[in-house]
Structure 1
Amino acid sequence: MPSCYPVSRIRETERQALAAGRQLMPLAGAAAARFVAARIAPGTPVLALAGPGNNGGDALVAATVLRAMGHDVRVLLPAGPQKLPPDAARAYDGWVAAGGGTLSALEPGFVPGLVIDGLFGIGLNRPLGADWQALVDTVNRWGAPVLALDVPSGVDADTGVALGRPIQARWTLSFIARARGLELPGSGAGAIGERHLDTLDVVMPSEADDV
């Protein structure tokens, strides 16, 4: 089993990689796109859920790469682009420059063949707000396969506790390292699905805080 780390350790390693000039969001988004492309047939509609932080940026990059591959991709950006952090804002600009548009709400009657969950990732530490919970509930009712980026939205990445009713992922793709909450027997454990890891060629410190 890969070593698992507290969110603070992952964030510090990420910060150091960024300070050294690594462009992590393009790598993470491309990794997610490859993961999806290997699991869908041509023409399968994909919905990328892009939240208000860098997890949303990863989803936007994935959508851009999938679009370039010829896939049918739509992006839901419920909070809009105005307050995206800098890297995620650049990912949004890249999506728009590639000809992509964004939705602020789900289209009636539309059910995708696969969903990319880039709503919150490891940053969520409080219960889902009412609007976010309603969105997650709708996705769960669809029953479409979900790829969660880093951690399913609605699961605390440090404790594995459900913060409301989490999105039900078929796969969870962690970047750099696996958050320890993915391996703890918390109330969100049933939402995680298959666990996958792409280190993005970033090396975590050797003194691992294993579960």
Structure 2
Amino acid sequence: MQACYSVAQIRDAERQALAGGRRLMPLAGAAAARFVAARVAPGTVVLALAGPGNNGGDALEAATLLRAMGHDVRVLLPAGAQGLPADAARAHAGWTAAGGATLSVLEPGFVPGVVIDGLFGIGLNRPLGADWQALVDMVNGWNVPVLALDVPSGVDAETGKPLGRPIRACWTLSFIARARGLAQPGAGDGAIGEWHLETLGVAMPAAEGDG
């Protein structure tokens, strides 16, 4: 079985990689872009949901690459670009420089063919706010495939418990390592979907346990 780790362990490995000069966000975005491109038909409308943190930056990197591949990509950045962490701000600048537009709201009746969930990553530990919950509910109502980056938004990566009504992912692509909450039976009230891992070349210490 796949080893699992605490959020603190994953964060520590991430910090060490970054301190060593590794740029992880472009790697994560590239992995997500490859994942989507391998599973959607040409012409499929891709909606990247970019949250206010680095999870949003991963989604922006993926959006830029998918656009370069010729996909019809839209980016929803509900909280705006102000206040994005440095790496995520660079990812946003790259998306804009490539000619991509950033939406703050979606037009009525819009339904994409596939969604990249980059709203919240493994750091979320409180219930979704009302506006975020409304967005998640809308996405779930579309009944289209969703790729969650790291963890479906609205799932506690440490415990696996839902923090409100999570995005119901078709696939969850974890980066670096599997958070232990994702290994819990019924994690996220069944929101995880098919789980995949991209280590991004980051070595983890001896695992605390198997999932």
TM range (shorter): over 0.9
Summarize the alignment of residues 182-193 of structure 1 with structure 2, pairs less than 5 Å apart: 182-186=182-186, 188-193=188-193
Query: Cα offset for 1:187?
Result: 5.6
Distance 1:155 1:29 in 2: 21
Provide the residue aligned with 1:31 in structure 2: 31
Provide the residue aligned with 2:173 in structure 1: 173
Identity of aligned residues (%): 79
Cα distance, 1:12–1:171 mapped onto 2, change above 3 Å: same
Cα distance, 1:33–1:187 mapped onto 2, change above 3 Å: closer
**Structure 1 stretch displaced more, 92-101 or 184-193:** 184-193
Provide the residue aligned with 1:116 in structure 2: 116
Cα pair 1:6 1:209 within 8 Å, conserved: no
Provide the residue aligned with 1:85 in structure 2: 85
Runs of 4+ off more than 3 Å: 207-211
SS at match of 2:173: strand
Q: How many equivalent residue pairs?
A: 211
Deviation per residue, 1:37-78 (Å, 9 max, x gap):
000000000000000000000000000000000000000000
* Structure 2 residue runs without a partner (length 5+): none
- What's the TM-score once normalised by structure 2's chain length? 0.98
* Structure 1 residue runs without a partner (length 5+): none
Letter in 1 for 2:126: R
Deviation per residue, 1:111-151 (Å, 9 max, x gap):
00000000001011000000000000000000010000000
Query: Cα offset for 1:2?
Result: 1.3
- What's the TM-score once normalised by structure 1's chain length? 0.98
SS at match of 1:122: coil
Distance 1:36 1:100 in 2: 18
Cα distance, 1:207–1:181 mapped onto 2, change above 3 Å: closer
Letter in 2 for 1:151: V
Provide the residue aligned with 1:10 in structure 2: 10
Query: Cα offset for 1:210?
Result: 3.4
Distance 1:101 1:184 in 2: 38
Cα pair 2:28 2:175 within 8 Å, conserved: yes
Distance 2:155 2:118 in 1: 13
SS at match of 2:61: helix
Provide the residue aligned with 2:72 in structure 1: 72
